[in-house]
Amino acid sequence: MNKYEVMFIAKPFEETEVDPIVEKVTNLITKNNGTVEKVDRWGKRHLAYPVKKQNDGYYVLINFEIDPTAIYEIDRVMKIQDEILKHLIVKNDK
Do 70 and 20 contact (CB within 8 A), yes or no?
A: no
| Distance separating alpha carbons of residues 66 and 68, to the nearest angstrom | 6
Mean pLDDT confidence for 5-10: 95
Task: Quickly state the pLDDT bin for 12 (edges 50, 70, 90).
Answer: confident
Nearest to 60, CA basis, from 36, 84, 42, 86: 42
- Is a pLDDT exceeding 90 seen at residue 67? yes
Residue 85: what pLDDT? Answer: 95
Q: Which residues contact 42 (CB under 8 A, 6 or more apart)?
A: 58, 59, 60, 61
Q: pTM score, two decimals?
A: 0.90
